[in-house]
Structure 1
Amino acid sequence: MVINGWRTLSPHTRRCFEARLALLRHAGNEPFLRAQPLFLYPPDWIAANDALLEAELAHHIAGFPGAETMEKRIAAVAAYAPAAERLARLGETLVIATRDDFLVPCAASLDLAGPIPGPTSPRSDGAAMPATSPILRVSTASSSSFWRASPCKSASSCPSTTTAG
């Protein structure tokens, strides 16, 4: 299963990584960690869960692996670029792309799924957190109702999603 993945790093995702690294390098660990939810969760979820995020901050600060380790992790993730030939050899694979993920554009996940055999493209309304708005299911299995959804061929051909909140 892949959630909000990519085959080639999107310029948007690259900019997000650069912004996070600039915060880490020039503002420090705590501002870096305070900003992290902005890259991971939709605004309505953050607003509704601010107390939880504040309560978890001390835990994240205490367990922070250090700037050098974090820079290496971000570099490793940014360098991830699976070859189309390797993706084409995958077996049953579920690829989930969400419209409201701030870090990874939906089109990047659709591009990742392209070389994988047997794709179907359902659309489901909802929020990315926690990956409840899949628009793409890729599977070589005969089961076709993992999510009940209407088909779409790409992110741009799917009707826009609205969420309550």
Structure 2
Amino acid sequence: MTGGLAPLPDGGSLAYTVRGDGPPLVLISGLGGLASFWAAFGEVCAAHFTVVTYDHRGVGGSSALAGDTSIAAMRDDLLALLDHLGIGATAMLGHSTGGAIAQSVALAAPERLTRLVLSATFATPCAYMRRLFAGRIELLDRLGADAYRRHAVTLLNAPYWLNANDALVERELAAAAARGRPGDAAVIRARMLAVLAHDAQARLGEIACPTRVVVAADDIVTPAYLSERLAAGIQDAEFRLLPCGGHYAMRAEPERYRDAVLDFLRGATAADTGR
């Protein structure tokens, strides 16, 4: 595995990693924005792809985020990373907020995409999601980033997985607190507001690359009906509903998640797999 810092046009930088061999595949993290989110699944994909992961601006090893942001700004950062790496067109898997970024790439720069997986994401927030995120923002504002993260693990992880891995989650929370940066709460808040402002619903029909939409039935952050709406709006999109796994299905149900996305990314369609 290699990595580095990709310069951005405004003087910022994105920390990135590259592993594996084969055609390029970019894995785009969700609201947390860390490349390490994809550690396990990235290794699975690296047997077939040159896998690119990265820390979003304001997160991890990337440069600070000053002020507000948007899904379009996150898209432009990603496109600058692809330019730095000399990647013209690539497959993409975007999870949650990363799925919104991937939609934005598909609409603004369709020539950069070969295949697209939209994982546990949304075209525009529904009333439930808006209320959920309003509550998360209020908790963040009142209690700070560490309390926000402690609450988030109960939303993001399937209850049965969390019950079996509680000690691991405590270690991860302690590590997140230790690596915290000044202004973390402001960055989280700005990123949540960017999520709430995303609205690609009216333009979904313009997405032309082969697309598969994947979600778990018990996801309570981006409910499955949001993924159903996405798939219905994108021409010829395939839809995969996992029976369980929560918002982090790649963690709770790694084999099911792998089977739902990997063959598609490698070029197989529903007709090819007999589904």
Distance 1:101 1:50 in 2: 19
Distance 1:33 1:61 in 2: 9
Q: Does 1:94 align with 2:212?
A: yes
Partner of residue 249 from structure 2, selected from 122, 130, 136 = 130
Q: Going by fraction, where is strand more abundant, 1 or 2?
A: 2
Q: Going by fraction, where is helix more abundant, 1 or 2?
A: 2
Matches within 5 A, 1:18-37: 18-37=134-153
SS in 2 for 1:97: strand
Q: Does 1:3 align with 2:129?
A: no
Distance 1:126 1:36 in 2: 18
Larger deviation: 63-72 or 106-115? 63-72
**Other-structure match for 1:144:** 270
Distance 2:120 2:173 in 1: 25
Q: Identity across aligned pairs (percent)?
A: 25
Q: Which amino acid aligns with 2:121?
A: G
Q: Does the aligned pair in 2 maintain the 1:12–1:103 contact within 8 Å?
A: no
Matches within 5 A, 1:15-54: 15-54=131-170
Partner of residue 106 from structure 1, selected from 219, 224, 228 = 224
Matches within 5 A, 1:146-165: none
Matches within 5 A, 1:66-85: 66-85=184-203
Structure 2: where are the runs of 5+ without partners?
1-116
Q: 1:32 to 1:147 in 2, by over 3 A?
A: farther
Shift of 1:5: 1.3
Distance 1:100 1:62 in 2: 31
Partner of residue 64 from structure 1, selected from 180, 199, 213 = 180
Distance 1:34 1:101 in 2: 18
Distance 1:4 1:147 in 2: 22
Q: TM-score, normalised by structure 1?
A: 0.74
What's the Cα RMSD here?
2.7
Larger deviation: 99-108 or 125-134? 125-134
Q: Which amino acid aligns with 1:125?
A: P
Q: 1:113 to 1:59 in 2, by over 3 A?
A: same
Instruction: Work out the number of aligned pairs and report it.
Output: 146
Please give the per-residue CA displacement for 1:33-57, whole angstroms capped at 9, x wherever unaligned.
1111112111111111110010111
Larger deviation: 34-43 or 120-129? 120-129
Shift of 1:124: 4.5
Please give the per-residue CA displacement for 1:112-149, whole angstroms capped at 9, x wherever unaligned.
11121113445553424424567x99x8x773268776
